[in-house]
């Protein structure tokens, strides 16, 4: 794994074993994001996966998962196991739920087009087929075959989307590693060594099956409202907790959506919001949640 500068010259280079142990490392610039794109603590040798810490030397988390697993899946019932003991095809970006890495080569020409011209609009609904699903060990290709139209989903909502707005938001925030403490604007953060947050994240869930999101520009304006609030976030103290930020703090909007087909206009609006948020230095990450 390498980091290059604007000219394409390699400035950092890393090699890992399958569990994330660093086997070689050359750094010209400081970088905390290592194996699987996760934050690595040089002092402890642990990776921060939002909800808890992972120790690559033993291939286990150092504390229990709050998710109790599935009765028909023994590996999910071990509360310390990392990616069901299979880091070659699985990742766990939240510290709670295993996600499957999809083999792009098996998806044919449409996948090739999407990865060469990546956008929600140009991808049609391919992204739903490749996206990780926020369910234990459910491959993205399964979701691609079981998407609902907005109309059908409204008639029979499933999972967290069948809950009321407040309960749904609480459940999703908790499962995505949020603080669930009503902290203003942000729901989780990664603390840097200097006491300033390396990143702050706002978690939002939108039921795009709702008729209100069929209105022109509604999805875009809603997302940009979230983006602007996150952009305006400054050092804040709430409930005895102070989160300090500076110009180097990464700002992330984590957006949870149901397994519902996007309309063409919604896909275009999401594309535009992602692009405009990026101009403000904010990354939008989409999670498909059941």
- The ranges assigned to domains in the chain are 2-100, 145-288
Give the angle 20-289-169 at the CA atoms, nearest 5°: 105
pLDDT at residue 230, as a whole number = 98
pLDDT at residue 249, as a whole number = 95
pLDDT at residue 72, as a whole number = 66
Long-range pairs, 17-23, Cβ under 8 A, ≥24 = 17/56, 18/87, 18/88, 19/56, 19/59, 19/82, 19/87, 20/47, 20/54, 20/56, 20/87, 21/56, 21/57
- Between 3.90.950.10, 2.40.50.100, 3.40.1350.110, 3.30.450.40, what CATH number should domain 145-288 receive? 3.40.1350.110
- pLDDT tens digits along 233-265: 999 999 999 999 999 999 999 998 887 877 878
Across the strands, what pairs with 257?
Answer: 288
pLDDT at residue 145, as a whole number = 36
Determine contact, residues 80/60, Cβ cutoff 8 Å: yes
- 89 vs 170 pLDDT, higher one: 170
Q: Mean pLDDT, to the nearest integer, of 36-49?
A: 91
201 has a pLDDT exceeding 80: yes
Share of the chain above pLDDT 70, in %: 80
70 has a pLDDT exceeding 80: no
- pLDDT tens digits along 128-162: 433 333 333 333 332 333 456 677 878 888 888 99
Q: Token pair of 158, please?
A: 């499933």
Q: Mean pLDDT, to the nearest integer, of 5-25?
A: 91
Q: Mean pLDDT, to the nearest integer, of 220-244?
A: 97
Q: Mean pLDDT, to the nearest integer, of 35-40?
A: 90
| pTM for this model (two decimals) | 0.57
């Amino acid at each position: 794994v390498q980091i290059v500068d604007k000219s394409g010259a390699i400035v950092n280079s890393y090699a890992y074993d399958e569990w994330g142990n660093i086997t070689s490392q050359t750094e010209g610039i400081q970088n905390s994001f290592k194996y699987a794109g996760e934050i690595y603590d040089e002092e402890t040798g642990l990776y921060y996966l939002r909800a808890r810490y992972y120790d690559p030397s033993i291939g286990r988390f150092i504390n229990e998962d709050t998710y109790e697993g599935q009765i028909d899946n023994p590996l999910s019932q071990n509360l310390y196991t990392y990616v069901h003991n299979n880091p070659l095809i699985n990742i766990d970006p939240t510290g709670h739920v295993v996600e499957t890495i999809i083999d792009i080569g098996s998806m044919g020409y449409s996948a090739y087009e999407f990865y060469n011209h990546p956008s929600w609009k140009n991808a049609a609904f391919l992204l739903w087929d490749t996206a990780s699903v926020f369910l234990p060990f459910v491959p993205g290709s399964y979701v691609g075959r079981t998407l609902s139209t907005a109309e059908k989903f409204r008639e029979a909502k499933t999972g967290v989307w069948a809950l009321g707005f407040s309960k749904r938001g609480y459940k999703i925030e908790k499962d995505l590693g949020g603080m669930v403490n009503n902290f203003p604007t942000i729901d989780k953060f990664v603390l840097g060594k200097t006491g300033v947050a390396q990143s702050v994240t706002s978690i939002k869930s939108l039921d795009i099956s709702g008729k209100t999101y069929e209105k022109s520009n509604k999805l875009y304006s809603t997302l940009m409202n979230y983006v602007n609030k996150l952009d305006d976030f400054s050092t804040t103290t709430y409930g005895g907790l102070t989160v300090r930020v500076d110009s180097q703090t990464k700002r992330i909007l984590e957006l949870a959506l149901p397994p519902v087909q996007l309309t063409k206009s919604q896909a275009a609006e999401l594309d535009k919001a992602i692009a405009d948020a990026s101009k403000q230095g904010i990354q939008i990450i989409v999670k498909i949640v059941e």
